[in-house]
Amino acid sequence: MSRRIPVEPDHIISVRGITKNYPGGIQAIREITMDVHRREVVCVIGPSGSGKSTFLRCLNGLEQIDAGTIIVDGIPLDGNRRHRDEIRREVGMVFQSFNLFPHMTVRRNICLAQKRVRGKSDEEAFAVTHALLRRVGIEEKTDAFPSQLSGGQQQRVAIARALAMNPKVMLFDEATSALDPEMIGEVLAVMRDLALEGMTMVVVTHEMGFAREVADRIVFMDEGVIVEEGEADEFFDAPREERTKAFLSKIL
Amino acid sequence: MSRRHARDAGVAADALLDIGSLRRYTECNSAMPMAKRPHIRKFLSAVRARRRGLIEIGEFLLFAAIAAVVVAIGTNNLQYNWQWFRVPRYLFTTGPDGLRAGVLLQGLVVTIQISGLGLVLAAFFGLVTALFRLSRSFTANAVAQIYLEAVRNTPLLIQLFLIYFVVAPIVGLSPFWSAVLALSLFEGAYASEIMRGAIVSIPRHQWESCHSLGLTSTDTYRFVVLPQAIRRILPPLTGQAVSLVKDSALVSTIAIYDLTMAGSATVSNTFLTFEIWFTVAAIYLLLNGVLSLLSHLLERRFEVVT
C-alpha cells in the first residue's frame, strides 16, 4: 500500500487544476478542478471536441496530464507507476467501442483480470463471472465470442468485465454512442441499476434523458474547461451560462 | 433487392411454382437477355471451363516438351550419360539389417535439425528484438537497432565465418551450434520486423482495455496482444522458415555434413552431377512444401472465431 494523501474523506476523486496538451500546442483540457464524492454519479456533457473524453481518460492515467494533480482514493496519480497501477485496479472503465478481447470467450474476457490482477482461483473467478453475467442479463452467452454478440451485449460484457474487478469508481466513456438505437436502452438500464446500487460513477454521455434521471451532478464542458456544473434538475431547467443555454437549446 | 432476398425469392419460386412460372418469374424480374439465363449461362460456362482446361493441359505439355528437348540437346552436346539407376543407393540402402538411410538422407536429417533448431531460436531472437524495439528503454532500443543493422547489411556467409572462426573457438561452440546460431541470428533479424509489424497492428484500444483493468504489460502481451498477433505473424514467418531451410545450404562451407554437403560429396565420388543435384533440389522442394502445408494448418488452428 502506498502512502495515502489526506484529502476530504468523502472525496474519492480529487482533481486540481489539470491541463493536458496535445502535440501541436492544442490544449485538450485547461485548468480543470473537480471532486467526485463517494457514491456520487457525475455526468459530463458537452459538444464533441470539448475535452470530456480526454478528461475522463486522465482519471485512470490513460492520458498523461501536463499540469495539476489527480488523487484517487487517496493515491496520487503522479509519475509513479506503482501508484498508477494501484489506481487502475480500483477504477473500472467502459469504452465507446467495447474493446473486448476478440480471441477470448465472454467468460475468459471477464476472468482474465480477476485471475491475473486479483489472483483469484478459477472457481472464484467463474462464480463472480456468472453472477455478473446474470446481473447484466446475458448469462447464456458465457461461451460465445465477442463477434457473435450484438453491440449492446458486447457493451454489457464490457461492463461486467470492469465490475469483476470490484472497482470503487466506474468511468463510462460514451458507452452508448457506438450502439444502434434499439440497443442503447439495455445498456443504459444496466448503468442505471449500477447507479441505484450506489456505485460511484463518472459518465461521459450524450444521453441527456439518462443524465437528468440518474446523475447527482451534471458537469458541462466546452473548449477544455468546465463551463458550468450543478444538480441535474437545476442544470437542465435553469442553466446560468450562455454557452450552456446555447448547447442545451441545440440538443433538447 | 439484396442478394440474400434474391436467393430466398429464388428458393421460394423453385418450391412453389412450376417451371413455366419460374421462367416467367426470371424473365420479368431479371431483365436478362436470353443467352444470359441461368441454365444457359451455366452450360456455356461449363463448356468454357472445359475448353480452358484443355488449353491449360496443352500449354503445359508444350512447355514440358520444350524443356525436355532443351535438356536432351544439352546432355547430348555434353555427351552426358544419364544413370538414374545409380541414385537410389545414395538415398537409402537395403542390407541384411533392413532399410538404411543413404548419405543424402543422412544429410537431410542434419539439414532438418539445423533448420528446426534455427527456426526456434530465430523466433526467439525475433520476438526479443521486436519487444526491445517497442520498449521505451534506450538501451534495449539501441541493442536491437545495432543487431538489426549489422545482420541485415552483411552477407550471411561472412556472419557464418565470423561465428565459426572467431566466436566459436572463444566460447567453445561446436560447428553444429555455430551453424544454428548464425542462421537463427540472421533469420531472427527479419522475423523481428515481421513480429513488430504484427504487434503494432493490434489496435491501441486493446492495450487501453488491459491498462484500465490493471493488467501488467507482460500479461497484456502474453494474454491479449501476442495471441492476436500470432495469426498475423504466421503466414509471413513461413516465408522466413523456407528461407532458413534454403540458407542452411551455406553451412556446408563450415564442414557440416548437411544435405548440400552430402550432395557435393556424392557428386565428387560418382560424377553423377545432374542426377544428384536434381535429386537434392527435389528434396529441398519437398521439405519446403511440407513446411508450407504445416503453416497452413497452424494458421487455421489460430483463427479467431468471427
> What pLDDT band is residue B231 in, cutting at 50, 70 and 90?
confident
* Minimal C-alpha gap between B237 and chain A (Å): 21
Residue in A with minimal Cα distance to B304: A103
The pLDDT-based confidence of A203 (bands split at 50, 70, 90) is very high
Residue A7 has pLDDT above 70, yes or no: no
Instruction: Give the per-residue pLDDT at A1.
Output: 42
Euclidean distance between CA atoms B235 and B241, whole angstroms = 10
Asked if B252 contacts B261 with a C-beta cutoff of 8 angstroms, the reply is yes
Convert the pLDDT of each residue in A101-140 to its tens digit.
999 999 999 999 999 999 999 999 999 999 999 999 999 9
Q: 3-state class of A170 per DSSP? A: strand
pLDDT the model gives residue A19: 93
Q: How many CB atoms lie within 10 A of CB B145?
A: 13
Asked if residue A170 lies in contact with residue A200, where contact means CB atoms within 8 angstroms, the answer is yes
**Residue B123 and residue B237 in contact, taking contact as beta carbons nearer than 8 Å:** yes
**What SS3 class is residue A42?**
strand
User: Are A99 and B209 a contacting pair at CB < 8 A?
Assistant: yes
Check CB contact under 8 Å for B304 and A145: yes
Residues of B in contact with A147 (CB under 8 A): 304-306
**In the 8-state DSSP scheme, what is residue B305?**
P
Q: Which of A62, A91, A116 sits opposite B219 (nearest CB)?
A: A116
Beta bridge partners of B221: none
What's the predicted TM-score (pTM) here? 0.74
Q: How many CB atoms lie within 10 A of CB A31?
A: 14
- Please report, in angstroms and rounded to a whole number, the separation of the first and last CA atoms in chain B: 26
Residue with the bigger pLDDT between A8 and B81: it is: B81
DSSP assigned state of A238: S
Distance from CA of A135 to the nearest CA of B (A): 20
* pLDDT at position B24: 54
State how far the alpha carbon of B98 is from the alpha carbons of A243, B90, B95, B189, in Å: 94, 15, 5, 44
B294 alpha carbon, distance to own chain's centre = 9
List, as one string, the DSSP characters of B215-237: --HHHIIIIIIHHHHHHHHHHHH
Alpha helices in A19-150 (DSSP H): 52-59, 81-90, 106-116, 122-135
What CA–CA distance (Å, rounded) separates B125 from A82? Answer: 30
Three-class secondary structure of residue A91 per DSSP: strand
Q: How confident is the model at residue B202 (pLDDT cuts 50, 70, 90)?
A: very high
- pLDDT-derived band of residue A200, with 50, 70 and 90 as boundaries? very high
Give the residue from chain A lying closest to B212, CA to CA. A88
Report how far Cα B198 is from the mean position of its chain's Cα atoms: 18
Interface of B with A (CB under 8 A): 205-206, 208-209, 211-216, 219, 223-224, 227-228, 304-306
Q: Residue A44 has which C-alpha cell?
A: 459530463
| Structure confidence at residue B13 as a pLDDT band (50, 70, 90) | very low
Phi, psi angle pair for B120, to nearest 5° = -60, -50
Model pLDDT, residue A88: 94
pLDDT in tens, B134-183: 998 999 999 999 999 999 999 999 999 999 999 999 999 999 999 999 99
CB B213 to CB A117 under 8 A?
yes
**Is residue B29's pLDDT more than 70?**
no
Starting from the edge strand earliest in sequence, which strands make up the sheet with A11-22, in order? Answer: A26-37, A11-22, A67-72, A75-76
Contact criterion met (CB < 8 Å) for B215 and A62: no
Task: Write the ipTM.
Answer: 0.89
Residue A99 contacts B, CB cutoff 8 Å: yes
Verify whether the Cβ–Cβ distance A95 to B216 is below 8 Å.
no
Q: How close is the nearest chain B Cα to the Cα of A174, in Å? A: 14
Tell if the CB–CB gap between A62 and B212 is shorter than 8 Å.
Answer: yes
CA angle A11, A16, A20 (to 5 degrees): 125
Which cell numbers hold the place of A112?
A: 482474465
Q: Does A89 touch chain B (CB under 8 A)?
A: yes
Return the exposure string of B100-114: e unless at least 16 CB atoms fall within 10 Å of the residue's CB, then b: eebbbbbbbebbeeb
Using the beta-carbon criterion (under 8 Å), do B228 and A102 form an inter-chain contact?
Answer: yes
Q: Phi-psi bin for B215: left (phi > 0), alpha (psi -120 to 50), beta? A: beta
What does the mean pLDDT of chain B come to? 84
